[in-house]
Structure 1
């Protein structure tokens, strides 16, 4: 019986002897120092570690259903190994080169945005984005209400709950949220930015873990309540199919190349607008990814992208989200300091962060239901993708909930939603912070 099971066991699409053989070769290369530390060597190491964790995590009872399965295990194991310096320094630097200097995270997100938006039918696309802003505000309101309720339990005033907990957690991440919030705090209050940032990043780190775990739980709720969730690519309950999925023909290699260039071209256009031509609109900074989403949405609405290119973009997105996501999860884990997380864990911080995340979920789910969204998908994107550590947190949340097709909405939460929080932060610091 066991031999029959092994015969059908194909990790990462390979026969198990071939996959296991190359995993052992890669690990031997790390131990001996013979594995290169360039892009190819770094990918080999991150994939080998990710594949092992993914195969184990998908087979651990309870973990595979309620904690997030193999992707979350890859994140946790990587965080443990890198925090405790069990990875040789040369390969730690290799991973950081891929994630930081090469910015593989942005490269990954580019193609997920392009394929997920182009894969939506025009009417569905318009209705989705029109109702998304209310869903974001629903999450902010829900987070504030439960956050203030939690503050009453620990003797924390409502204004401190909003300033020190809700704002950094719902700010869309670290670089786009906690860092600029701390700068706004300093400019408005006169106190040092570091004093605010130290606490902000602590509660944000705790909330990020809760966001990933609750995303996995919501995925299980969706399996038990199918009417509450869609196909992982659409928010609207109307059931309109995606154009790209209607294309039965497998895209050619050239069409895949065209979709690739379309993705990086749109990213270049987003950077041109976000960094040179229109970095701010009415005083609000617009992130290049937000501009990219706007541009690809305009192309999709105008119908100027050929159907075969849409299908190729969708297929490219599927490859990135099903295969290369393991590289992302290992890289995100490598960037997570478990000691920093442990130092931030106090009863009040944990409970407050948890209540804010739950409040955000409920708020976005209720408003999402009212505007015609699937409540679970609305909660995952409009709330959990704000209550995490930005781009890397988005991918961890979507990976744990198996909804990579919703990356465009996740980025709207992190970028545009985060911008809304910065505006609210300016107002709240000016009112209560002095």
Structure 2
């Protein structure tokens, strides 16, 4: 045990720190602010993460510690093992303060600026076809299995495929329900209540299958890359290695850079160009486009790009525990259990599998590794948006692919809304 560390700390020391944080929580002494929320979330996250990393089969195929942190946190809330005021506090930190957005902003900037320019442009060019391949695969497999339950292909697309592949809740289920209301004249809630149910079930499958794909990739390394790029034969692109020495102030510049790209994305999505051809463009979609342009044109100094990737790595390895606990806290196991019927579970599962197969096949055809394409262009379409992306990438150990995941949730979700407008008009 001499060389064993948990979150970089010796076992006895971290056990004492966690005990202090939990004692402060259960006695009510812990403050109800961001510091208090992070103290609880890191403590819970470390416990479940370390347990999950050591459970056979689970640690290889189901997603390991991060998935257990997600499910374990949800179970603690369901069984009321955490005082209600601190559950509210953690939800506040994740959603109201929106640490989730801050986390994604750092990851997007670092992951894109860390890619070689030619490799970045090549991979972006083939990504939309891979997304559409995932949607087509989900629709085809869903339609086949829908016939087993007496569900028509049109209903499969409207009630199951579109909500699951729509980019999450806010970017998918909500606007889909509004399109439904506008098309049919029925209340949006009629569509939304079922859409969010089937999406929630699919989100669980997306996280679990991400862990399974990661396990397959470890057994069959020819199906996957290094977890940082989608492109096969990326080693054929000559990359100039530069020895860059960073100072602490460089990380401050990288942080300002990331936040400025986010501000630019907000400026376009909220004021300058909120929609294109009637399709709402999300802040993160704009942000990705601008960071890609900045990387491709070479206007960002090398040392700043390096600092951004190091900053991203810090968040990926440490702050991800806070995110996984926050996502788990927000997942109601009771509602999920009540919504589980045999047909719903089967349909959600096969649609997720269809998304995996479709995106893997098309991804391979455009030059991607099939597993990495399936995780990003497939599973990151079939989850609950931003938080789902992080859970999926965490389970798949591919957090460096966050930019592609966000393209799935944002631009891919926009494509699904266009498809939905056509399908709703034809069949409703």
TM-score, normalised on structure 1?
0.97
Match of 1:128 among 115, 123, 130: 123
Q: Secondary structure at the match of 1:86?
A: coil
TM-superposed CA distance for 1:129, in Å, is 0.7
Are the aligned partners of 1:143 and 1:357 in contact in 2 as well (CA < 8 Å)? Answer: yes
Instruction: Specify whether residues 411 and 118 from structure 1 end up closer, same or farther in structure 2 by C-alpha distance, changes over 3 A only.
Output: same
How many angstroms apart in 2 are the aligned matches of 1:343 and 1:193? 21
TM-superposed CA distance for 1:242, in Å, is 9.6
Match of 2:75 among 59, 80, 85: 80
Match of 1:100 among 91, 95, 116: 95
Are the aligned partners of 1:124 and 1:240 in contact in 2 as well (CA < 8 Å)? Answer: no
Instruction: Find out whether 1:409 has 2:400 as its counterpart.
Output: no
Instruction: Specify whether residues 242 and 401 from structure 1 end up closer, same or farther in structure 2 by C-alpha distance, changes over 3 A only.
Output: farther
Q: Secondary structure at the match of 1:91?
A: helix
TM-superposed CA distance for 1:43, in Å, is 0.6
Are the aligned partners of 1:136 and 1:417 in contact in 2 as well (CA < 8 Å)? Answer: yes
TM-superposed CA distance for 1:85, in Å, is 2.6
**Offset from partner CA, 1:162-190 (integer Å, 9 cap, x none):** 10000000001011100110010000011
Partner of 2:50: 55
Instruction: Specify whether residues 360 and 399 from structure 1 end up closer, same or farther in structure 2 by C-alpha distance, changes over 3 A only.
Output: same
Partner of 1:209: 204
Match of 2:338 among 339, 343, 346: 343
TM-superposed CA distance for 1:239, in Å, is 2.3
How many angstroms apart in 2 are the aligned matches of 1:364 and 1:16? 42
Are the aligned partners of 1:54 and 1:73 in contact in 2 as well (CA < 8 Å)? Answer: yes
TM-superposed CA distance for 1:160, in Å, is 0.4
TM-superposed CA distance for 1:86, in Å, is 2.2
Q: Secondary structure at the match of 1:256?
A: helix
How many angstroms apart in 1 are the aligned matches of 2:254 and 2:108? 12
Equivalences for residues 413-424 of structure 1 within 5 A: 413-424=408-419
Equivalences for residues 5-84 of structure 1 within 5 A: 6-84=1-79
Instruction: Specify whether residues 114 and 355 from structure 1 end up closer, same or farther in structure 2 by C-alpha distance, changes over 3 A only.
Output: same
Are the aligned partners of 2:119 and 2:234 in contact in 1 as well (CA < 8 Å)? Answer: no
Partner of 2:364: 369
TM-superposed CA distance for 1:227, in Å, is 1.3
TM-superposed CA distance for 1:90, in Å, is 2.0
Partner of 2:316: 321
TM-superposed CA distance for 1:224, in Å, is 1.3
Aligned residues: 428
List gaps (5 residues or longer) in structure 2: none
Instruction: Find out whether 1:378 has 2:369 as its counterpart.
Output: no
TM-superposed CA distance for 1:8, in Å, is 1.5
**Offset from partner CA, 1:237-284 (integer Å, 9 cap, x none):** 122499999444452101111101100111011001111111011111
How many angstroms apart in 1 are the aligned matches of 2:22 and 2:224? 40
How many angstroms apart in 2 are the aligned matches of 1:47 and 1:427? 45
How many angstroms apart in 2 are the aligned matches of 1:395 and 1:243? 31
How many angstroms apart in 1 are the aligned matches of 2:178 and 2:421? 10
Are the aligned partners of 1:169 and 1:203 in contact in 2 as well (CA < 8 Å)? Answer: yes
Deviates more, 1:244-253 or 1:423-432: 244-253
Match of 1:268 among 255, 263, 267: 263
Instruction: Find out whether 1:197 has 2:192 as its counterpart.
Output: yes
Instruction: Find out whether 1:311 has 2:306 as its counterpart.
Output: yes
Instruction: Find out whether 1:393 has 2:388 as its counterpart.
Output: yes
How many angstroms apart in 1 are the aligned matches of 2:85 and 2:131? 42
Partner of 1:283: 278
How many angstroms apart in 2 are the aligned matches of 1:39 and 1:246? 40
Partner of 1:429: 424
How many angstroms apart in 1 are the aligned matches of 2:261 and 2:240? 22
**Offset from partner CA, 1:58-89 (integer Å, 9 cap, x none):** 00111111111110111011111123332112
Partner of 1:3: none
Q: Secondary structure at the match of 1:9?
A: coil
TM-score, normalised on structure 2?
0.98
How many angstroms apart in 2 are the aligned matches of 1:16 and 1:298? 45
Instruction: Find out whether 1:144 has 2:139 as its counterpart.
Output: yes
Partner of 2:297: 302
